[in-house]
Amino acid sequence: MTIEQIAHLLNQQLPDYQLVSATPLTGGLSNRCWKVTLRHRQSHYLTPLVWRPTSAATNAFGLSREHEYRLLHALGRSENLKTGQALSSDSRDVLSGKAIAPAAFALLPEGLLVEWVEGQLAAENLPLAALAAIQAHIHQLQVPDWRLDCPERARHYWHHIPSEAKSPALRAIHHHFQTHPPIQWFADVCCHHDLGWYNIIISGTSETGGLADARVIDWEYAAAGDPSLDLALTISANGLELQSAVHAYCQARALSRTEETRWLQAVHAWLPWCQYLALLWFRVAEALWQEPEYGKEADKLMAVLTPVVSRHPD
């Protein structure tokens, strides 16, 4: 999509606003987004936003801009966004601001406009306690009325992988996971499903050293789901050590040692599924954008999962 196309689209769909600027954003994997600034024609007020288009990529990855809009709109109205609710006292000390989503601005047939969040991208070494507190907070938000079903999502990815890319080894991995479905460890909660440091924007710190404002972006994969899957995805996305990450999360939730043991078992069970889903995701991305980096990431995951499947023949 070009600047001219965006300007034409917004002029048609939002006639009260004028496009002032549009800049493509880097770093997005599932979609190619733009930062846009709109000026209200009467008040001349400037509004910086992110344009999140509906595209071939959103279809291939099974994403719904309508679901994303509904979730952001619901979170914006929720009273449950107050920081620290039902978190441990330690978590409230770490997370002194808000771990919330950007506001939804407008849902259009061609995509979604959301608030542009000012601040700095969280560092890769974001304190584990802070990340755990953010995740625990998200798990207490209003539960969406749609959910992530891992086998179903994997089948969707599989459908969008070209036949020539479906090697015998990849077919064996796909067959293994599809015939060994995961179990549900915990009741569904609101899950982000992509809580990497790259999706957290920080603006300032509190007097006690906590995060004054931690805003979580890119909620396109968010859905109801098993919170232990969400935690496993967070561990994978951030390259965290399993036991330390689970312990930090359980501390943020003020869970007992016995409960922590079950969480550790659950997350450990989900990690191969995270790798499987990521493998298929990278194969889809490789086909979509013809960029070798996606294929290299998929090859790494193939090397990890092939021995796992070999040890558990059907």
Range with the poorest average pLDDT among 71-75, 147-151, 156-160, 206-210: 206-210
Tell whether 147 is covered by a domain.
Answer: yes
pLDDT for 132 beyond 90: yes
Tell whether 48 is covered by a domain.
Answer: no
pLDDT at 86: 47
pLDDT for 232 beyond 70: yes
Which range has the top average pLDDT, 73-82, 123-132, 215-224?
A: 215-224
Domain count, the chain: 1
Average confidence score pLDDT of the chain: 89
Which range has the top average pLDDT, 65-79, 168-182, 204-218?
A: 168-182
Average pLDDT (287-306) is 95
Average pLDDT (86-91) is 50
**pLDDT band (50, 70, 90) for residue 256:** very high
pLDDT for 274 beyond 60: yes
Tell whether 27 is covered by a domain.
Answer: no
Please state the pTM of the whole predicted model.
0.90
Strand-strand pairing, 200-202 and 111-115:
unpaired
pLDDT at 214: 83
**pLDDT band (50, 70, 90) for residue 81:** very low
pLDDT at 93: 53
Average pLDDT (147-153) is 98
The enclosing domain of 138 has a CATH number of 3.90.1200.10
Q: How distant, in Å, are the alpha carbons of 19, 168, 171, 175, 183 from that of 313?
A: 57, 14, 13, 10, 19
Tell whether 45 is covered by a domain.
Answer: no
Range with the poorest average pLDDT among 24-38, 83-97, 175-189: 83-97
Tell whether 35 is covered by a domain.
Answer: no
pLDDT at 1: 75
List the domain range (segments joined by +) for residue 150: 54-311
More reliable by pLDDT, 70 or 2: 70
Tell whether 85 is covered by a domain.
Answer: yes
Q: Which residue has the tokens 């599932």?
A: 30
Cβ density class 86-111: b for 16+ within 10 Å, e for less: ebbeebbbbbbbbbbbbebbebbebb
Angle between helices 242-252 and 227-238 (to 10 degrees): 130
pLDDT for 78 beyond 70: no
Contacts of 61-66 spanning 24+ positions with Cβ under 8 A: 61/30, 61/157, 61/281, 61/284, 62/153, 62/156, 62/157, 63/30, 63/31, 63/220, 63/221, 64/146, 65/107, 65/111, 65/112, 65/220, 66/107
pLDDT at 87: 46
Tell whether 63 is covered by a domain.
Answer: yes
Tell whether 12 is covered by a domain.
Answer: no
